[in-house]
């Protein structure tokens, strides 16, 4: 899932005229589908919540098929406070967050399937919000940021990113094609590039770090804390300063259809209650993650 939030470039280019026409007709029909405001959701007795699958520690599916994780637990708690049950729908991320909002909230999946009433884990970005005027993006519930974990027993107590510069043998692991990867590849005029070990999934980077393949691990705080929770390691954490062109900090919120704002307000009320009571922090702690309030 991208954290740079570029605009979607999707279109009908490359399709035959008939296929393009059918697609556009389907798009219009899906877009015209009625929203599910709060009263209708309550009458149905179920809140359809879309979470990103294969996205630890926020959501993933167990071998038994149950969706678990921070976002899944928050969704169930919200539904309980609304007096209904949560219907958790786990879906993969699209090329851009815009795609996810379109297919999960106001249009529906192009391959079929129901729309969600709410999408969890939406970046609270001004440009993203402005581009997606058919959705109401709000209710920030967590502040995410990129951190760096270093093994002090390998690098020393005063280690910095310089420990991974050209000529050094130390490796630093990260997830491929993320803002973290781009930062490591180009910071200090590319001097770290040869010692960066990118992995397709963050889990691969964390495993490499834990097994001794790398002395540094960089990524989103929640992912790093969850992966290293309970491990007997001598670590030092820091927050490297990113250039303005890359995102290293952002709030996370929810998205509902623009004409279902009353549902969004109810979700916001439930989240506020969970923050005040400490319930939200306990959900994060359950997965080894420190709760950081939105900023």
Angstrom distance (rounded) from CA 149 to CA 221: 9
pLDDT reported for residue 23 = 39
All residues at 6 or more sequence positions from 192 whose CB lies less than 8 Å from its CB, including other chains:
161, 164, 165, 166, 172, 184, 185
The DSSP-derived string for 148-195 is EEEEHHHH-TT--GGGGSTT----EEEETTSHHHHHHHHGGGGTTGGG
- What is residue 210's predicted lDDT score, i.e. its pLDDT? 98
Q: What value does the mean pLDDT take over residues 198-227?
A: 98
What is the reported pLDDT for 113?
82
Confidence of residue 34 (pLDDT cuts 50, 70, 90): low
**276 alpha-carbon distance from chain centroid:** 23
> What is the pTM for the complete model shown?
0.87
CA 198, 287, 69, 147 torsion-angle sign: negative
pLDDT of residue 5: 35
Domains of the chain: 33-143+250-286 (3.40.190.10), 145-238 (3.40.190.10)
Strand partners, 60: 68
pLDDT value of position 35: 63
Interatomic CA distance for residues 179 and 248, integer angstroms: 7
Q: At what angle do helices 221-228 and 202-210 cross, to 10 degrees?
A: 40
Q: What is the mean pLDDT of residues 205-214?
A: 98
Burial of 34 (0-12, 13-18, 19+ CB in 10 A): exposed
Whether 153 and 173 have beta carbons less than 8 Å apart is answered as no
Separation CA 191–CA 156 (nearest Å): 20
- Which two tokens mark 244? 């303005």
Percent of the chain with pLDDT over 70: 88
State yes or no: pLDDT of 4 exceeds 80. no
What's the pLDDT tens digit per position in 161-193? 999 999 999 999 999 999 999 999 999 999 999
Q: Are 235 and 157 in contact (CB under 8 A)?
A: no
pLDDT tens digit string along 97-137? 999 999 999 988 887 788 999 999 999 999 999 999 999 99
51-99: pLDDT as tens digits? 999 999 999 999 999 999 999 999 999 999 999 999 999 999 999 999 9
Pairing between β-strand 135-151 and β-strand 249-257 as defined by DSSP bridges: antiparallel
């Amino acid at each position: 899932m991208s954290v740079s939030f570029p605009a979607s470039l999707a279109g009908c280019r490359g399709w035959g005229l008939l296929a393009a026409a059918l697609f556009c007709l389907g798009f219009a029909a899906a877009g015209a589908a009625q929203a599910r405001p709060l009263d209708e959701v309550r009458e149905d007795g179920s809140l359809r919540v879309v979470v990103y699958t294969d996205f630890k520690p926020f959501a993933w599916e167990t071998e038994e098929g149950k969706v678990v994780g921070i976002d899944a637990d928050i969704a169930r708690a919200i539904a309980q406070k609304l007096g209904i049950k949560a219907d958790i729908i786990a879906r993969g991320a699209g090329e851009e967050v815009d795609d996810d909002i379109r297919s999960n909230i106001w249009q529906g999946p192009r391959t079929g399937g129901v729309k969600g009433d709410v999408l969890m884990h939406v970046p609270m970005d001004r440009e993203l919000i402005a581009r997606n005027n058919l959705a109401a993006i709000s209710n920030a519930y967590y502040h995410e940021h990129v951190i760096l974990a270093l093994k002090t027993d390998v690098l020393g107590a005063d280690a910095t990113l310089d420990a991974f510069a050209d000529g050094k043998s130390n490796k630093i692991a990260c997830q491929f094609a993320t803002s973290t990867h781009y930062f490591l590849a180009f910071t200090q005029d590319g001097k770290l590039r040869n010692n960066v070990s990118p992995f397709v999934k963050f889990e691969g980077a964390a495993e490499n770090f834990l097994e001794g393949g790398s002395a540094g691990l960089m990524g989103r705080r929640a992912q790093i804390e969850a992966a290293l929770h309970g491990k007997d390691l001598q670590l030092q954490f820091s927050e490297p300063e990113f250039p303005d062109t890359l995102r290293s900090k952002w709030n996370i919120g929810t998205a509902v259809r623009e004409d279902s704002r009353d549902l969004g307000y109810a979700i916001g009320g439930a989240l506020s209650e969970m923050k005040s009571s400490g319930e939200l922090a306990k959900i994060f702690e359950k997965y080894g993650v420190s709760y950081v309030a939105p900023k």
